[in-house]
Amino acid sequence: MSMKGEGNRQCIIKAADELFYRCGYNQTSFQDISDATGIPRGNFYYYFKTKDDILDAVVQARCNDFIEILAQFDASTTDPRERLLLLADMLRANEQNVLESGCPVGSLSAELAKDSADLQDKSRRVFGILRSWATEQFSALGLTQEADELAMDLLARMQGIIVMACAFKDAGFLQRSLTELKDWIRQVVGTMSQAG
């Protein structure tokens, strides 16, 4: 597949990514993607074997996006504590989207949990990237023993905040919870790294 075709492929992935986030995977039809891209829906099978294949590509794209974002966090400061705070701050940067549609990672995983186990396995990869990155940060702070558990705790807190903020469309709760979350990060890192 050459330049021209690859461009269309990326166009499909980009449109599908947005639609999967806004409408859900199952609720997004080929017609929707066709309308968004201008590419006839019959042509999708030139680029992808099946709808699941588009999901694969979208998941891969999201993985790459996060890898890049996390690399920027890594580049912007050497302090793992600051890096974790940057991750938390994504809640503020994406406030509007979060209130409207929840977390692209969490909501996709939750949706696919109700489809085949096979599909959820794929979506889990995005969470895996965040989890291992956060684990690295906690480890770098001397919390090697409990690093993975802390990473899971951090992600769980973020997911919970998003679910409730989205359910009640409550920007105030989102802001307040973000503050508390950042306090928690500072506290966990501060106290436990002294103890460890």
Partner DNA sequence: GTAATAGTGGTACGATTGTTTTACATTCTA
Partner DNA sequence: TAGAATGTAAAACAATCGTACCACTATTAC
> Given the rule CB under 8 A, which residues bind a copy of itself?
22-24, 26-27, 100-102, 106-107, 109-111, 113-115, 120, 123-124, 127, 149, 152-153, 155-161, 163-164, 166-168, 170, 173, 176-177, 180
Query: Between the CA of residue 20 and those of 46, 137, 156, what are the distances in Å?
Result: 20, 30, 22
Buried b (16+ CB within 10 A) or exposed e, 151-179: beebbebbbebbbebbeeeeeeebeebbe
Q: What is the distance between the alpha carbons of residues 196 and 193, in angstroms, rounded to a whole number? A: 5
Residue 56 near DNA by CB under 7 A: no
Shortest CB 144 distance to DNA, Å: 45
Helix axes 147-168, 104-112, angle to 10 degrees: 90
Residue 8 near DNA by CB under 7 A: yes
Single residue of 14, 22, 32, 60 touching DNA by CB under 7 A: 32
Residue 188 interacts with, from a copy of itself, DNA, none (CB under 5-8 Å by kind):
none
For the chain, counts of helices (H) and of strands (E): 11, 0
Residue 161 interacts with, from DNA, a copy of itself, none (CB under 5-8 Å by kind):
a copy of itself
Buried b (16+ CB within 10 A) or exposed e, 12-30: bbebbbbbbbeeebeebeb
Q: What is the distance between the alpha carbons of residues 68 and 169, in angstroms, rounded to a whole number? A: 29
Residue 40 interacts with, from DNA, a copy of itself, none (CB under 5-8 Å by kind):
DNA
Residue 12 interacts with, from a copy of itself, DNA, none (CB under 5-8 Å by kind):
none
Residue 4 interacts with, from a copy of itself, DNA, none (CB under 5-8 Å by kind):
DNA
The residues binding DNA (CB under 7 A) are 1-6, 8, 28-32, 39-46, 49-52
